[in-house]
Every structure is written in C-alpha cells, then in structure tokens.
C-alpha cells in the first residue's frame, strides 16, 4: 500500500499522562517508522482522553512542527 494515508497514531492516554519527553519521543518514532516517506497525518488515535490539557496538545503540535518534515 505505497499510497496509504495514516491518520492518527498517538495513544490518547500517552498524550494525557506521560511526560513531554515521552510525547516527543513517540512523535519522532512514529514519524520515522510510518511517515518519513509521506502519508502520515499526526493526530491522536481516535480521540482525546478526558482531562487532556490544551498545553499537552500544543506540545504535541510543537513537536510535529520541529521534528516532522518531509523532504522535497
């Protein structure tokens, strides 16, 4: 499936409960494993767990902005 598009990969409870370093590591790992060639839309895997703070969502977006770039 070379043209597959993956939407969402971040476990909602990891985003809510784990450290910022763990969140960054997961974003980088998933991008390297599944998205480096294109076709990965970084998001949570289906939902946000109740109680997930806006700061954690912003942190995940910052990690994506800094660490996930497709090469032209």
pLDDT for residue 3 is more than 90: no
Q: What is the average pLDDT across 16-36?
A: 92
Nearest 5°: phi and psi at 45? Answer: -80, 75
Beta strands in 2-50 (DSSP E): 6-7, 40-41
pLDDT for residue 26 is more than 90: yes
For the entire predicted model, the pTM comes to 0.85
Per-residue pLDDT tens digits for 29-71 = 988 888 777 888 888 888 899 999 999 999 999 999 999 887 7
Q: Using CA atoms, how far apart are residues 57 and 16, in angstroms rounded to an integer?
A: 9
- The per-residue pLDDT for 46 is 83
């Amino acid at each position: 499936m070379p043209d597959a598009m993956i939407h969402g990969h971040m476990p909602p409870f990891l985003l809510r409960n784990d450290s910022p370093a763990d969140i960054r590591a997961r974003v980088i790992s998933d991008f390297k494993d599944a998205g480096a060639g294109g076709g990965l839309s970084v998001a949570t895997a289906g939902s946000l767990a109740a109680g997930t703070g806006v700061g954690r969502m912003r942190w995940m977006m910052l990690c994506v902005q800094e660490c996930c770039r497709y090469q032209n």
